[in-house]
Structure 1
Amino acid sequence: MVMIMKSGADSASAGLLSTFSFLLLSAVFAASIAVVFLLGYFSHKPIHGLPSSFYSPSQPQFQIPTVELLSHTRPAPDQSRAVLSSEFPSKFKPAVTRRAENKLEQGLARARAAILDAASATNPSIIIKNNNILSPAIYWNPSAFYQSYKEMERRFKVYVYQEGELPIVHDGPCKDIYSSEGRFIHEMEHGNNRFKTSNAQAAHVYFMPFSVTWMVKYLYKPNTYNVTPLKAFVSDYVKLISTKHPFWNRTQGADHFMLSCHDWGPKASQGNGLLYNTSIRVLCNANSSEGFDPTKDVSLPEIHLYGGIVNPKLISPPPSNISRPDLAFFAGGIHGPIRPILLKHWRGKDTDLHVYEYLPKDQDYYDSMLRSKFCLCPSGYEVASPRIVEAIYAECIPVILSDHYVLPFSDVLRWEAFSIQVDISEIPRLKEILVAVSEDEYLRLKEGLRAVRRHFLLNQPVKRFDMFHMILHSVWLRRLNLRVG
């Protein structure tokens, strides 16, 4: 086991206390679940014409609804849509200690009401400033999103646990394929943002700043595929904070979140059952067929920042009037179930589709993206790929070839406004599908890319609506759906 506590007598006593606390809490939790079912806790009625997931602050109910706030349109099964509705998931709801006169919850209730009111606005577009328009062609509901974003800026507070030691906790990678993990941890630890609070009692959510990527680097034995040390570290960390602080036990971890871009982030989260099933997990590996739950988890964009910065060629893509002579482009290793299908049908088969396993030495990867109208983004071993964000930067329409991938920020963004999703079974028809995209449709998709680009930028310092803020907004939406009475 990977111990985080100090060694010696303190460690032994803390371990006994942790074990006793865990057993006691498990018994209390089991009893509370039984009481919940006996009392018909899940029955409810709408209040004052609002969706039945909205309760007044005086009602001590705890709900985690399948949310539908930002659109009245039913999402596809693999889409992540953090919206508020009367629907409830089939899995259990965690028991929560009731707290009277909870100002935080009252403030969240006012935020929910304001967002619902904005969602019903008749004006479909929102102008922020300087003709900066949030369009319903790109956002599910611009009014609701903007109101939610403003409420987040006004109210949202995050407490970052101080427990744990470097390098695995309070640090993360910032110059490789998992940069979005390290950059978020660094911003929450050291950034000058309005959301971090040192007053744990005033926080809406609690961040556990461990890095799964660094766990793999320092704890994993290469070529063993044994993730037990990662799970043990996570288990120890949750035991530590749940023993030292009251916040985890108060909600069974439902208002806590972790963040990981490593492929093994979901496996590491299995170190604690409540973390896996109840807490908010912000993951690049957002595979809905492998336990990722869009009603509570957050899909994290994957960005490969060489040297910690965006490649200079992608900072200012060519203007729209510059021709892109190539229809589509992909270069990447053959791994996972999808890429072999893509290369089987298109590698070296067509001069319009430039599909490679290894890019020729006389070609530059980013130059190839900038020459192409469409960039093919097939999943590898896991669903996420940095190619999607690179394609957005290059204004090369992402063609997403993936199964069960919950796309980042799809709780507010219409991905069909700036990308194309092709079913794996349709890969043999790929050229036919892309050629069928009209010039008007292609220009519409490029406009969409320009509009959403800012949401996928890792700025230093951070800026409104950039990736850091969009990640937090996704967490904020899930916290809105948590009622703590």
Structure 2
Amino acid sequence: MADFTCTTPLLLYPSLVLVLFFYSVNHHYRFLPSSDNIGDPSLCSDDSDNLGALRSPEALIYSSFRFPFRTNSSCRRRRGDDDLPSSNNSEKVRWEALERVEGGLAMARAAILTKAAFSRNSSYGSESLIGSVYLNPFTFHQSHREMERKFKIWAYREGDGPLFHKAPVNDIYAIEGQFMDEIETGKSPFAAKHPDEATVFYIPVGIVNIIRFVYRPYTNYARDRLQNIVKDYISVISQRYPYWNRSLGADHFLVSCHDWAPDVTAADPEFYRLFIRVLCNANASEGFVSMRDVSLPEINIPRGQLGSPHAGEPPENRKILAFFAGGPHGKVRQILFQRWKDKDRDVRVHDYLPKGQNYTKLMDQTKFCLCPSGYEVASPRIVESLYSGCIPVIIADSYVLPFSDVLDWKKFSVHIPIPKIPEIKKILEGIPEGEYLRMQRRVLQVQRHFVLNRPSKPFDMLRMVMHSIWLRRLNVRVPILQ
């Protein structure tokens, strides 16, 4: 028999270190329940209102990516078969399925937090963060990997087109329809085969089509018809299925790029308090909550195309300092036009381009592309800038940028407050050449996250949108009821 006297310690000691490390991380973050917490009435309400804990923000557990707030009141308890509803076997199966989903999410949290601890304690980790476009590349890539394995979306089947299950896949609101089509074609690996296996639930309402078919002719812009259609749909699915009621909508979401989309929840903010809104109009001053809502990138997709980055000019051939061309709608653009329209050879601002000039080619020749908000904060020019290898200059206060829970926008964009619009040239000329070159390289690095593929691919735009939704779901623990 072989002698394991010398090899055993080599195997045992690293394993012991990993066990102690995992115990220490779990003790600090409590991503898995301990025996001390099981049955603790301070964690789960035992009164008639079993969802009471979810009615306060303390029931939400926020991830280590962007949201440092955390609480121990997870309302997740271990149960034996005797604790599950015995009067209805289907309910028992459903609660068992939810426990499996929550168990998978707990394992994902553990893996992500372990990777986060590694990056904090590793000299290699700190070196790799220098110059990165990510807030933390370790946690992001681990989270994306966990999402690819565990994330499942159930799209409710109720409703008929064009108000439900249909949305534009081209032009300015295209991302709304592209996401809907990706999930509802049945080809996506993230589409759940049964609602009991779902991680999140998709409300497939077409906001753009509601406004197009219900409001025309536009004689009344009151939002009540839009609000009633969505509320009635949720009323139907909440009566037919238990999923909305058991989480109060915390694992449900809608996706829309229309300017009116945030108003869907305005009529009853308490009802929608935990509901995930995936919006292009991500304005923090108008009720967008980054710990719950998702900022959706706005992209203008020509018919028959998906849009993708192109080479553009190398940095040494980009002779234009700053460029913008677009309509004068919105206060921010009016301020921009008043100061810069057709007044400077280096800061080129136009409403309509002169004949013979090409919009995309001008962006390809520009160092900094101005991205002012219009009537709302979002603008497709941010994605257009990235596609052209041009550093986006964000001129929009209170705009929560897409994927900002994982991307460090300061590394590849410039933000100019609205009051400093007259100082645009001074600010941009004050950026050292070396810093510009680093930022421009990061623009090229981040492009892949804004490419739209069908079907979607890892780390592309649709997967990044899913990852943002995944993070919000990862932050919430749905209670297992008695």
3-state DSSP of counterpart to 2:113? helix
Aligned length: 417
Which residue is 1:266 aligned to?
262
Distance in 2, Cα, partners of 1:257 & 1:94: 21
3-state DSSP of counterpart to 2:355? coil
1:315 deviates by 3.6
1:202 deviates by 1.1
Provide closer, same or farther for how the CA distance between residues 66 and 328 of structure 1 changes in structure 2, counting only shifts above 3 A. Answer: farther
Provide closer, same or farther for how the CA distance between residues 125 and 261 of structure 1 changes in structure 2, counting only shifts above 3 A. Answer: farther
TM-score (norm 1): 0.80
Q: How does 1:179-198 map to 2 (within 5 A)?
A: 179-190=174-185, 192-198=187-193
Q: Deviations over 1:236-260 (max 9, x none)?
A: 1111111111111111111100110
Which of 118, 122, 128 is the matching residue for 1:121? 118
Which residue is 2:284 aligned to?
288
Distance in 1, Cα, partners of 2:131 & 2:69: 20
Residue identity in the other structure for 1:400: I
Which residue is 1:317 aligned to?
311
Q: Confirm whether residue 139 of structure 1 aligns to residue 134 of structure 2.
A: yes
Q: Is residue 301–residue 389 contact of structure 1 (8 Å, CA) maintained in 2?
A: yes
Distance in 2, Cα, partners of 1:320 & 1:255: 45
Residue identity in the other structure for 2:245: N
Provide closer, same or farther for how the CA distance between residues 223 and 435 of structure 1 changes in structure 2, counting only shifts above 3 A. Answer: farther
1:321 deviates by 5.3
Which residue is 1:458 aligned to?
452
Q: Confirm whether residue 248 of structure 1 aligns to residue 244 of structure 2.
A: yes
Q: Confirm whether residue 306 of structure 1 aligns to residue 302 of structure 2.
A: yes
Distance in 2, Cα, partners of 1:94 & 1:110: 15
Distance in 2, Cα, partners of 1:472 & 1:217: 27
Distance in 2, Cα, partners of 1:96 & 1:278: 18
Q: Is residue 320–residue 367 contact of structure 2 (8 Å, CA) maintained in 1?
A: yes
Distance in 2, Cα, partners of 1:136 & 1:344: 37
Which residue is 1:424 aligned to?
418
Moved more, 207-216 or 318-327: 318-327
Which of 28, 31, 48 is the matching residue for 1:50? 28
Q: Confirm whether residue 436 of structure 1 aligns to residue 425 of structure 2.
A: no
Which of 64, 68, 78 is the matching residue for 1:69? 64
Q: Confirm whether residue 105 of structure 1 aligns to residue 102 of structure 2.
A: yes
3-state DSSP of counterpart to 1:49? helix
Q: Is residue 38–residue 77 contact of structure 2 (8 Å, CA) maintained in 1?
A: no
3-state DSSP of counterpart to 1:174? coil
3-state DSSP of counterpart to 2:303? helix
Q: Is residue 31–residue 110 contact of structure 2 (8 Å, CA) maintained in 1?
A: no
Distance in 2, Cα, partners of 1:354 & 1:398: 14
Q: Is residue 298–residue 475 contact of structure 1 (8 Å, CA) maintained in 2?
A: yes
Which residue is 2:49 aligned to?
none
Moved more, 157-166 or 263-272: 263-272
Q: Confirm whether residue 202 of structure 1 aligns to residue 197 of structure 2.
A: yes
Which of 447, 467, 478 is the matching residue for 2:461? 467
Provide closer, same or farther for how the CA distance between residues 106 and 96 of structure 1 changes in structure 2, counting only shifts above 3 A. Answer: closer
Residue identity in the other structure for 2:287: G
Which residue is 1:414 aligned to?
408
Residue identity in the other structure for 2:161: L
Instruction: Give unpaired runs (5+ residues) of structure 1.
Output: 1-45, 71-80, 127-132
Distance in 2, Cα, partners of 1:263 & 1:338: 16
Distance in 2, Cα, partners of 1:439 & 1:164: 55
Provide closer, same or farther for how the CA distance between residues 98 and 344 of structure 1 changes in structure 2, counting only shifts above 3 A. Answer: farther
Q: Is residue 140–residue 412 contact of structure 1 (8 Å, CA) maintained in 2?
A: yes
Which residue is 1:235 aligned to?
231
Q: Is residue 261–residue 300 contact of structure 1 (8 Å, CA) maintained in 2?
A: yes
- Report the structure number with the largest CA radius of gyration: 2
Which residue is 1:8 aligned to?
none
Provide closer, same or farther for how the CA distance between residues 484 and 276 of structure 1 changes in structure 2, counting only shifts above 3 A. Answer: closer
Q: Deviations over 1:20-58 (max 9, x none)?
A: xxxxxxxxxxxxxxxxxxxxxxxxxx9953236775594
Distance in 1, Cα, partners of 2:130 & 2:61: 25
Q: Is residue 209–residue 258 contact of structure 1 (8 Å, CA) maintained in 2?
A: yes
Distance in 2, Cα, partners of 1:294 & 1:360: 40
Q: Is residue 188–residue 196 contact of structure 1 (8 Å, CA) maintained in 2?
A: yes
3-state DSSP of counterpart to 1:240? helix
Provide closer, same or farther for how the CA distance between residues 188 and 171 of structure 1 changes in structure 2, counting only shifts above 3 A. Answer: same
1:65 deviates by 4.3
Distance in 1, Cα, partners of 2:135 & 2:398: 21
Distance in 2, Cα, partners of 1:173 & 1:268: 19
Provide closer, same or farther for how the CA distance between residues 432 and 107 of structure 1 changes in structure 2, counting only shifts above 3 A. Answer: same
Provide closer, same or farther for how the CA distance between residues 55 and 292 of structure 1 changes in structure 2, counting only shifts above 3 A. Answer: farther
Instruction: Give unpaired runs (5+ residues) of structure 2.
Output: 1-23, 45-53, 85-95
TM-score (norm 2): 0.81
Which of 148, 154, 167 is the matching residue for 1:153? 148
Distance in 1, Cα, partners of 2:124 & 2:149: 22
Residue identity in the other structure for 1:368: L
Which residue is 2:93 aligned to?
none
Q: Is residue 377–residue 385 contact of structure 1 (8 Å, CA) maintained in 2?
A: yes
Q: Is residue 333–residue 357 contact of structure 1 (8 Å, CA) maintained in 2?
A: yes
1:136 deviates by 6.1
Which residue is 2:350 aligned to?
356
1:137 deviates by 2.1
Q: Percent identity?
A: 45
Q: Is residue 25–residue 113 contact of structure 2 (8 Å, CA) maintained in 1?
A: no
Q: Confirm whether residue 370 of structure 1 aligns to residue 364 of structure 2.
A: yes
